[in-house]
Amino acid sequence: MKTVTLGASGIECEAIGLGTWAMGGWMWGGGDDAAAVEAIRASLDAGVRLIDTAPAYGLGRSEELVGKALAGRRQDAVIATKCGLVWHTKKGTHFFDEDGQAVHRYLGRDAIAFEVEQSLQRLGTDHIDLYITHWQDATTPVAETMDALLTLKKQGKIRAIGVSNVDAPTLREYLRHGPVDAIQERYSLIDRAIESTLVPLCQQHGVAVLGYSSLALGLLAGPMDAARQFAGDDQRKDNPRFSVTNREKLNAFFADIEPVRARLQCSFAQLMIAWTTAAGKVTVALCGARTPKQAIENARAGAVVLDPAGLQHIDAAADRHLGALMG
């Protein structure tokens, strides 16, 4: 699997990373803790080092599962976690409610100092490799947030600084106050807005790009039965992208790219993950998994090599079938 470096940090990982949002259960119809732990370990065994998590994924549940999975194997992993979505204070601005808790966007110095200690405890480690501001906080100056992160770096509690869900002007403001090693943004075949906004800025400043939701919440994992139902708090239940009409368009798209998949002898999910890295816009494709089988399949996408003809075939098919879905 291709090895990459996260900005100027010197931290190396593979071009495929494991995302653990779904493992927290919230907005995904619940979760299976035992399967999640095994999925993390299976990722490590398959050569994936970057494990991405966040306190907000199940109000600490995802971080705790990562910590459990990495017990005795901390040296095998590059841990990325986040700060800025808090439920221990009402400072900042209310963002959403999770399991009865009001979660606020807040990136003040006091909250960051509190959050990092909580994350270190849940993760069972003395340092976080990449610490990312999860969502941006309009009530706190970027200078204060960045100063707090640089202090943690000096203390050895974090090794690198990242930002997520950010626009170009805000990223420029971060860069004015210190080095940013990575951004983390939504990116897939049907989510390509950052190609014209953030990617050029990151390339100019040597900032790595971590693309999350590489399979677009599962839309790009392969043909989907139009009758499939999503239950409970699963966010896909009311997502218009998962309408029957859109599923039919996606199934036509997958039929169109079948020759590419067959030639490369991979799954559709692996093909879509390979597309995200082959397109040259992201440094790491973050792929969610909740079972060892899913984790192993995602990791094997790192061995799929898409040539220019394959990329062109996929892009043309997307233009034909997925125009209404692309953003």
- Nearest by Cα to 321 from 200, 201, 190: 190
E-strand stretches of the chain: 3-5, 12-14, 16-19, 50-52, 78-83, 85-86, 93-98, 101-105, 128-133, 158-164, 182-186, 208-212, 284-288
Pick the catalytic residue from 57, 106, 131, 212: 57
The answer to whether residues 221 and 215 touch, using CB atoms and an 8 Å cutoff, is yes
How does strand 16-19 pair with strand 12-14? unpaired
* Residue that is written with structure tokens 């799954």 in the block: 267
Q: Which CA distances in Å does 56 have to 81, 106, 140, 211, 217? A: 10, 13, 19, 18, 17
Region class of 25: left (phi > 0), else alpha (psi between -120 and 50), else beta: left
Question: In whole angstroms, what is the distance from residue 190 CA to residue 40 CA?
Answer: 27
**Cβ distance 91 to 108 under 8 Å?**
yes
DSSP bridge pairs for 93: 105
Q: Name the nearest CA neighbour of 24 among 54, 67, 68, 69.
A: 54
Reading the block at residue 170, the tokens are: 């805000």
Please give the structure tokens belonging to residue 321: 């079938």
Is 106 noted as a catalytic residue in this protein?
no
Among candidates 49, 54, 70, which has minimal Cα distance to 4?
Answer: 49
Residues with catalytic roles: 57
